[in-house]
Amino acid sequence: MASVAWLNGSPADTALAFSRGLHYGDGVFRTLLKYDRQIIDIDGQLEKLAADSAVLDLRFDGLSPLRQEIFDASTNLDTGVIKVLLLRAGAGRGYRPPAESSADRLVLCYPLPAFEARCWRTGITATKSDFTLAAQPQLAGIKHLNRLEQVLASRSWPASSDEVILRDDGGRPICGSRSNLFWLQQGVLCTPLLNRCGVAGRMRARILTLAQQLGIETRIEAFEWHALMAADEAFVSNSLIGIWPLRQLDGQVWSAPGPMTADLMRGLAHPTLSFL
């Protein structure tokens, strides 16, 4: 018999029903902001997508056709979210990937989430999560489709909190559930090393580059939790929000945005700042 796929009792589209992306999370993705008809940082995003693909030995036909496809798919989107997924082609039977792995390209457009201006203006409240990120150096830093840890971490989240901060198996701060984590300590910009767990966002890379342009020293280390708690100011970042200052994390309260965070927000000039 031919292969059969039923979704909720009705025949399903087989292209995705048998996808290795669905069956194994065998793929990578990026989340892009389109704002006022501009796709922010598209070249940097696509370069990181290509780098992450290479870790999984996942090939696709060049960045230019994908770039064009993203523009075409989002032509009617003025402002919103574009999510680009590369899924290893071939049906999901057997973990072993084909020797020559090409990628299926999935481009999705969504409305922009309804963020509140207070998140930029006076900062967010975060909570230390009890959920521990597993150490998997071979997948650390890359934005792949195995994201159950983020789902579990997001599940138990106080209503008063805007984000949870996740730690590694040694209790070290790593990232937010959907953001990267930074703080300032005596004028030095600090962010966790992501060689054992965590996702290295493009906004994280852009902030690190910006800091150097502004003459701010940076440290990327396996910091202990108390280093974060002793910070002078702190913030989280991702490609949709840019920077959200941290106003409160467990017992610690910061002025938000702190002066250097405000400098970085101005320097970044992320378009969602116009919500202020």
38-77 binders of a copy of itself (CB under 8 A): 56-57, 69, 72-74, 76-77
User: Who contacts 60 (Cβ-Cβ below 8 Å, separation ≥6)?
Assistant: 50, 53, 66, 86, 102, 103, 105
Using rule CB under 8 A, residue 94 touches a copy of itself:
yes
Distance CA 71, CA 65 (A): 10
Q: Residue 206 Cβ, how far from a copy of itself at the closest point, in Å?
A: 22
Return the range that interacts with a copy of itself (CB under 8 A); candidates 40-48, 85-93, 205-213, 262-270: 85-93
Q: Which of 97, 118, 205, 268 binds a copy of itself (CB under 8 A)?
A: 97
**Closest Cα partner for 178 from 90, 260, 96, 244?**
244
Q: Which is nearer to a copy of itself, 26 or 41 (CB)?
A: 26
Q: Residue 18 Cβ, how far from a copy of itself at the closest point, in Å?
A: 7
Which stretches within 158-197 are classed as H helix? none
Q: Residue 23 Cβ, how far from a copy of itself at the closest point, in Å?
A: 7
Using rule CB under 8 A, residue 90 touches a copy of itself:
no
Q: Which of 125, 127, 154, 218 binds a copy of itself (CB under 8 A)?
A: 154
Q: Which of 155, 219, 226, 266 binds a copy of itself (CB under 8 A)?
A: 155
One-letter amino acid at 120 equals W
Tokens of 93: 């039977």
Task: Centre a 10 Å sphere on the Cβ of residue 27 and count the other Cβ atoms it contains.
Answer: 26
Q: Which is nearer to a copy of itself, 142 or 231 (CB)?
A: 142
Return the range that interacts with a copy of itself (CB under 8 A); candidates 127-135, 216-224, 231-239, 258-266: 127-135
Task: Centre a 10 Å sphere on the Cβ of residue 170 and count the other Cβ atoms it contains.
Answer: 11
Q: Which residue has the tokens 């984590």?
A: 181
Using rule CB under 8 A, residue 230 touches a copy of itself:
no
Q: CA-CA distances (angstroms) from residue 31 to 8, 137, 268?
A: 29, 23, 18
Show contacts with a copy of itself in window 237-276 (CB under 8 A).
none
Return the range that interacts with a copy of itself (CB under 8 A); candidates 95-103, 184-192, 225-233, 253-261: 95-103
Q: Residue 156 Cβ, how far from a copy of itself at the closest point, in Å?
A: 10
Task: Centre a 10 Å sphere on the Cβ of residue 196 and count the other Cβ atoms it contains.
Answer: 20
**Sign of the torsion formed by the C-alpha atoms of 217, 221, 224 and 229:** positive
